[in-house]
Each structure stands twice: as C-alpha cells, then as structure tokens.
Structure 1
Amino acid sequence: MSQRRSRHQRSPSSPPAVEAAAPCPCGRSAAYRDCCGRLHRGEAKASTAEQLMRSRYSAFAVGDRGHLLRTWHPDTRPRRLEPDPGTEWVRLEILSTTGGTPFHNEGTVAFRAVHREGGHEGVLDEHSRFVRHEGAWVYLDALPD
C-alpha cells in the first residue's frame, strides 16, 4: 500500500496493537504471532510477494511503521509515514498474483483492503508491484489503474 493510502502506523519501538494470540489481520487462520508477527519482529522474511503484501497489510492494521519502512524499496520509500489513528483496517482480500514466488525476482499482487473511518467503511483496491532488493522481497509501487 502506498503512503498516500496508508494511514495507521506506530513508531518502530511501540508494541503491536494486537494480541499475539489473536487471529492475524492478514486473513490467514494462524495467530498473529505465528503469521505476520514473525515478519514484523524480524524473525523471518517473506518468501513470496503475496506473503510480503499480507505482512504489510497487517503492519498497517497493527500500526507497525518500522516494518512498512523496512519492506519498502529505497527508491520509492517515503522519508516518513504519517499515522492516522482514525483508520481501522478491517479485511484483506487477495484478488490475483503474478510471479512473486521464491523462484522469481518480481511479482504483483492485486488486492482489496477494507477499512473504517469515522463510522464509514471504505475500500482500497490496488495492484502492487514487488521486487527483490538485496535478496528480500520489498514493495516497489502501485501500478496505475
């Protein structure tokens, strides 16, 4: 997700805004600690572009600004991210993927992220591009509509 659309982050040293045993915000059936939490804590790296997309969505949901910045390509990464505590990320739907496997160096993930702001539900549709940088998957940018 790009900065203009990203809204809910925390400082890199703040604890996540979700219980470790809670369901992971990315929509997988695993607990947060065993799913995206491992990537947020730096205990694992994403093996696919989709896994990175899910971890970045979860980072928006729990307010992990550090993970977002670490997984953003240095050529397109913003200098800073501004939090919007009024945004609640509700649900992630992966619509399609291309490439992005452990055997690729590039990939795309089309997704729909549902959020709530001021009592109203909104939808973010994006087709994100991911590349490997220094051996790790990173978010590069959003493809134009």
Structure 2
Amino acid sequence: MSTKKDKSGPCPCGQPSFEKCCGRFITGGEVPATAELLMRSRYSAFALRDEAYLRATWFPDTLPEEELTSETDVKWIGLDIKKHQHASGSDEATVEFVARFKVGGKAHRLHEISNFVRQPDDSGQARWYYVDGRFPED
C-alpha cells in the first residue's frame, strides 16, 4: 500500500518540491545518481508507505521478508543527512543520517550509518541499492 503524494507540494525529505526531488525516483522516471539521493528517496518512500519502491531499492541479499511499511502509526517528520562518503570510482558508499518520526504523538529519532552498493540491475543499468546499516554510538 502506498500513500498518494501531491506532486506540487514539498518533498517528505525536506526539499521544496517532491516532483523535482524524490518524486522523480519513486515514480520510476529517473534513477538516483548517488547513494545520498537514494537515501533521501527511501526516506520519502517510508513516509509515503511505498513498499514497492523500498523493496526495489534494497540489495536482494539483505532484503527482509517481512513487510517494511506495516507500522501504520509511524509519522515521519524530518530527515537530516549528516555525511555522505563515496570515493571516486568506488561502487560502495555510506550515508549517515538522522530521521525523525512520531509514534502515538511521541517523538523519536533514528540515527543510522547506511551502507550502499552500486551494481547493474536486471536491464544492465548501474544503480544504487541499500545494503544495511548500523547505529552509531551517540
């Protein structure tokens, strides 16, 4: 199940335009060129409960079987990208971020360092995939 998003409004990731930011990736029109752009679009997909996009952008070897958007009482309220590391020519990258959300009106934050890999998809086009993440010691 996915939630409809007003294409003329702001992007859930915090940018002014959904259509010009994450919308172009989530709708399948473009492929994120960097791990950071993929991270932003995955955050927006969580906010929109777009299960299909989240599964399509998760590295198959680490993709969990359970539904990713089953928690209906979660409201995503903000994303801060702390650091994006990608060495030139490398097919691996990390993105450190803090995602803020509410459950039952109570605010929470998720601080993660996510690992990404770039490899060809079924059509041969190189694209970034989320692999896994770890929680840094705050």
Task: Please tell me the TM-score bracket, short chain as reference.
Answer: 0.7 to 0.9
CA contact (8 A) 2:111 2:135 kept: no
Listed as ranges, the gaps of 5+ residues in structure 1 are 1-10
2:99 is paired with a residue whose SS is: strand
Match of 2:132 in 1: 141
Q: Distance in 2 between matches of 1:117 and 1:43?
A: 32
Match of 1:40 in 2: 26
CA contact (8 A) 1:50 1:100 kept: no
Q: Distance in 1 between matches of 2:21 and 2:135?
A: 30
Match of 1:113 in 2: 99
2:61 is paired with a residue whose SS is: coil
Aligned match of 2:15 in 28, 45, 50? Answer: 28
- Tell me the TM-score normalised to structure 2 length: 0.87
CA contact (8 A) 1:100 1:108 kept: no
- Equivalenced residue count is 130
Q: Distance in 2 between matches of 1:61 and 1:18?
A: 10
1:100 shift after superposition: 6.6
Are 2:54 and 1:68 equivalent residues in the alignment? yes
1:54 is paired with a residue whose SS is: helix
Match of 2:79 in 1: 92
Flag as ranges the 4+ runs of structure 1 deviating above 2 A: none
Listed as ranges, the gaps of 5+ residues in structure 2 are 121-125
Change (3 A) 1:126 1:119: same
Q: Distance in 1 between matches of 2:57 and 2:31?
A: 10
1:144 shift after superposition: 5.4
Q: Distance in 2 between matches of 1:76 and 1:27?
A: 28
Are 2:115 and 1:129 equivalent residues in the alignment? yes
RMSD across aligned C-alpha pairs, in angstroms?
Answer: 1.6
Match of 1:5 in 2: none
- Tell me the TM-score normalised to structure 1 length: 0.83
